[in-house]
Amino acid sequence: MYLMATPFQFLSVCDEVGKIMVQELAPLIGSAYGGEELCIGADNTPTERIDRVAEDLVLSVFREKKVCRSLLSEEAGMVDIGGDAGIAYLDPVDGTFNAVSGIPFYALSIALSDGDQVIAGYVKNLANGETFTAIRGEGAYLNGSPIQVSTETMLDHSAMSVYAKKFDMTRMMQLGHKIRRWRLLGASALELCYVACGRLDGFVDMRNTLRVTDAAAGILICREAGGRVTLPDGSVLEFPDNVVSGRCVVATNRVIHRKVIEYLRS
C-alpha cells in the first residue's frame, strides 16, 4: 500500500491496532506504573507511560502499512508515516486518567483526513471492546451495526456531558438546571460517540481545550449518525493542524441544538 489508504482500509488497520492495543495495555491499566510521567508531549502536557506505549504501537503499524503521509499525535506531534497522501489524527489513549485509575471508560481515537476534510473515524473503547466507526457520507456504526442519535426534544428530559472552566460555571449552571442528567465521563471521543448512538443527547465542552486529535474521529461519527457539532455560538467548527490550539465544542442530537446554543449565549 503506497498511496493513502481508502477509508475502508484505514478502518481495517485501526481495528488491527485496536485489538493489539487491548492486549499490550492490559498490564498498565489501573497501575501507577502505567501512569508514570515520562516527559512533556507535543501538546505541552505530561506524557504518561500508557500513552507512550499506545502511541508507539500505532506508529509502528501505520508506518508498516503506509496508511497515510503523516500523523498528528498529542505526544509526538506531527510525524512522517511514509505514505503519499493524507493525515491521521491520533489520541492514543483518550481518557488516560480513567485508564490508569482502572475506570473502564477510555479509548483509542483515530481519524483520517484527505487534506481537506476528515473522511473516516475510529473510536474503540479499550475497556469493553465497543468500536465506533464512520466513513464520510456512509453513516456511523457501533460494532458494525448502524447507529443514530436520540430523538429527545426536551432539555428537561435530556442527558448531557457538560464541561466548563471554573470561572464559567455560573453560566453553565443555567444550562445544567435545564437538563435532567449531567454527566462527566472523562473521555471526549467516547462521549461524542455516546451522542452518536443515543446514550447521551448532547456533549458540551467550554474549556477551550479540545484539539483535533481529541475530537476529529468522534465528531465525524456523531455527524454521520445525524448529530450536529458546532462552536458554542452555532458557527462552523474548524481545528488547526496542531495539538496546542484548543476549541470549545457543542454536539447534540440536532433536535435540541438550538436550545442549547441559546442558553450558552445567555
CATH number at residue 216: 3.40.190.80
- 245: Cβ contacts below 8 Å, ≥ 6 apart: 211, 239
Residues 47 and 71 in one domain: yes
Q: Is 187 inside a domain boundary? A: yes
pLDDT for res 173:
57
Parallel, antiparallel, or unpaired for β 159-163 and 202-210? parallel
Same domain, 171 and 209: yes
Let me know if residue 1 belongs to a domain: no
187 shares its domain with 85: no
Q: How far is CA 36 from the centre of its chain?
A: 23
* Residue ending a domain, choose from 90, 112, 146: 146
Q: Please check whether residue 2 lies inside any domain of the structure.
A: no
What does the DSSP assignment read for 173-222? HHHHTTSSEEE--S-HHHHHHHHHTTS-SEEEEEEEEE-HHHHHHHHHHH
In a domain, 248, yes or no: yes
Tell me the residue range of the domain where 160 lies.
155-265
pLDDT of the residue at 175: 59
All cell numbers assigned to 7: 477509508
Domain end point (choices 92, 116, 146): 146
Domain check: are 99 and 219 in the same one? no
State the cell numbers at 249.
465544542
Q: What is the pLDDT along the chain (266 residues), one digit of tens a residue?
A: 445 679 999 999 999 999 999 999 999 999 898 887 887 777 767 778 999 999 999 999 999 999 999 999 988 889 999 988 899 999 999 999 999 999 999 999 999 999 889 999 999 999 999 999 999 999 999 999 999 999 999 888 889 998 887 545 555 555 555 777 878 899 999 999 999 999 999 999 989 999 999 999 999 999 999 999 999 999 999 998 888 889 999 999 999 999 999 887 76
Contacts of 165 (CB under 8 A, 6+ apart): 206, 207, 208
Task: Please tell me the total count of domains within the chain.
Answer: 2
Final residue of a structural domain among 146, 177, 207 = 146
- 39: domain CATH number is 3.30.540.10
Residues 127 and 177 grouped into a single domain? no
